[in-house]
């Protein structure tokens, strides 16, 4: 399918893999499959040399009414079939932006970075969901190009597509892409106070405002005060979005 070539350029295409490079992948899919069994998220593996999906987990969120094997067979054609047209154009842009950013990183740091963004999937019944997509390198070629990457798919806590960000493992560094100004803006992750993190963890356990107040020896109004500060820090509107944000950026 000629349109699939829009996802690939010299930046993310690999002509050949040596035998020694290939050795690093021995049995790695068994680890991926084990992870797929214990996570609520969908995941799949992209092979940039073969330009296809090497593995797709059995999770209905990403499959759009197909079997994992069907999605593996479709590969990038899956996007053309199940992504809204305007979001498909966005994916082309994100693909280009991400690899341009990646190309400027030191080779020895490239595996530390993860790109995150949101787009809409449309299933066979024409129902639309906004998903969050995270992509991180698994293996690099000898030249430092991304050879294989793992993608995690979950429901987005946002309300529209885009929301493009890149984070570096082990740091508070985060780069957000401004689609209006067409530039990356470097920021730091939101920092939670000890009390804010504690309240979020208790919410994650399913406790109510009154139960949280009793547990941490404060009033319900105090819990509400901290919750409002959390919403303002994260730019979210409710506790469900706050928990999703905190999980997404590993804040709790």
* Residue 15 confidence class, pLDDT cut points 50, 70, 90: confident
CA–CA separation, 181 and 169 (whole Å): 26
pLDDT of residue 233 exceeding 80, the answer is yes
Q: Which of 3-7, 82-86, 158-162, 212-216 has the least mean pLDDT? A: 3-7
What per-residue confidence (pLDDT) applies to 8?
81
CB atoms within 10 A of CB 86: 10
| Structure tokens, 86 | 């305007």
Average pLDDT over residues 222-237: 90
Question: The domain 194-248 is classified under which CATH number: 3.30.470.20, 1.10.580.10, 1.10.3720.10, 1.10.10.10?
Answer: 1.10.10.10
- Which of 25-29, 165-169, 229-233 tops mean pLDDT? 165-169
Residue 246 has pLDDT above 70, yes or no: yes
Q: What is the pLDDT of residues 85-97, one digit of tens each?
A: 899 999 999 999 9
Reported as a single tens digit per residue, the pLDDT across 17-26 is 787 777 767 7
The 8 Å CB, 24+ separation contacts for 99-104 are 99/9, 99/11, 99/12, 99/146, 100/11, 101/166, 101/175, 101/184, 102/11, 102/146, 103/11
Residue 63 has pLDDT above 90, yes or no: yes
Where exactly are the structural domains of the chain? 2-188, 194-248
Across residues 142-153, what is the average pLDDT? 93
CATH 3.30.70.2190 fits 2-188, yes or no: no
pLDDT tens, 197-225? 999 999 999 999 999 999 999 999 999 99
b/e burial code for range 51-77 (CB count within 10 A of at least 16 → b): bbbbbbbebeebbbebebeebbebbbe
> For residue range 101-136, what is the model confidence (pLDDT) as tens digits?
999 999 999 999 999 999 999 988 889 999 999 999
Mean pLDDT of 193-198: 90
Mean pLDDT taken over the chain: 90
Higher-scoring residue by pLDDT: 162, 13: 162
Report the candidate in 246, 207, 205, 240 with the shortest Cα–Cα distance to residue 223: 207
* Rounded mean pLDDT, 168-186: 93
């Amino acid at each position: 399918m000629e349109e699939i070539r829009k996802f690939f350029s010299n930046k993310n295409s690999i002509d050949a893999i040596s035998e020694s490079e290939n050795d690093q992948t021995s049995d790695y899919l068994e680890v991926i499959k084990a992870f797929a069994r214990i996570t609520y998220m969908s995941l799949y593996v992209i092979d940039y040399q073969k330009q296809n999906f090497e593995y797709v987990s059995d999770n209905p969120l990403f499959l759009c009414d197909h079997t994992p094997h069907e999605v593996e067979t479709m590969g990038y054609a899956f996007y053309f079939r199940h992504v809204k047209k305007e979001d498909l154009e966005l994916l082309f842009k994100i693909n280009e932006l991400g690899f341009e950013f990646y190309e400027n990183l030191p080779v020895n740091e490239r595996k530390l970075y993860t790109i995150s963004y949101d787009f809409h999937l449309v299933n066979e019944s024409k129902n639309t969901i906004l998903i969050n997509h995270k992509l991180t390198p698994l293996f690099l070629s000898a030249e430092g190009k991304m050879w294989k990457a793992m993608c995690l798919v979950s429901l987005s806590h946002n309300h529209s597509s885009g929301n493009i960000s890149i984070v570096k493992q082990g740091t508070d560094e985060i780069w957000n892409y401004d689609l209006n100004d067409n530039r990356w803006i470097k920021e730091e992750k939101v920092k939670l106070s000890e009390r804010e993190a504690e309240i979020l963890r208790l919410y994650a356990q399913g406790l109510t405002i009154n139960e949280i107040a009793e547990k941490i020896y404060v009033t319900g109004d105090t819990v509400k005060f901290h919750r409002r500060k959390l919403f303002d820090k994260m730019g979210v509107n409710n506790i469900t979005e706050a928990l999703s944000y905190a999980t997404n950026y590993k804040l709790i």
